[in-house]
Structure 1
């Protein structure tokens, strides 16, 4: 059985078994990466929503706050998002992340001209 690949540069190119196996591996890896990315985006989007509620700030500011916490604590964004989701469900938020999240909420509430005291009454 012969397998062909389609591309703009070579309309029909015959693939060897080795080429076919390499292409299969490449596509499998790409598929796994895309699945992880979609999953990460869902977790991060949920955490942004949680920060919107916690800080009573706009989604854009919540995204910035989440990013700030990640950068200032040197923690991956997805991990910060997971910790925040655990926190809003009654779990604990690591101390440095809790501190930076509070600071970020205050900072972005100030930028939006909102009352600072309302951000700390969590």
Structure 2
């Protein structure tokens, strides 16, 4: 097998950080917010796959459906879902719709 050399990964990271030096403060803030939002979406997809149970390939669609149902964007829904998973407060509309959106997946779940 041909594995990438560690130096190549570090070179990519360094080149990204060098590129970030040229960003304005506003662009840097926007970049950070975008990364945080995407990270929350990916973590919420994982939570749905593990706890849903939702196939990982369908988890983003579940988040999108939930976002449409409560009238908010996918990143905000992801943050609310992560709060639910951690036992923190989330808007009642999100938790109510979450149960509704997950119902078809739970009906297909085999009995144990």
With the shorter chain as reference, the TM-score category is 0.5 to 0.7
Gaps of 5+ in 2: 1-21
Matches within 5 A, 1:65-84: 65-84=62-81
1:51 is matched with 48
Cα distance, 1:88 vs structure 2:
0.9
| Structure (1/2) with the larger helix percentage | 2
Residue 112 of structure 2 corresponds to residue 116 of structure 1:
no
After the TM superposition, which segments of 4 or more aligned residues of structure 1 sit over 4 Å from their partners? none
Number of residue pairs matched? 88
Structure with higher Rg: it is 1
**Would the alpha carbon gap of residues 117 and 93 (structure 1) be closer, same or farther in structure 2, given more than 3 Å must change?**
farther
Distance 1:94 1:36 in 2: 22
Q: Relative contact order (C-alpha < 8 Å, sep 6+): which is higher?
A: 2
2:23 corresponding residue in structure 1? 27
Q: Secondary structure at the match of 2:88?
A: coil
Aligned-partner Cα distance in 2 for 1:96–1:117: 24
Let me know the Cα RMSD of the aligned residues: 2.3
Give the TM-score of the pair, scaled to structure 1. 0.61
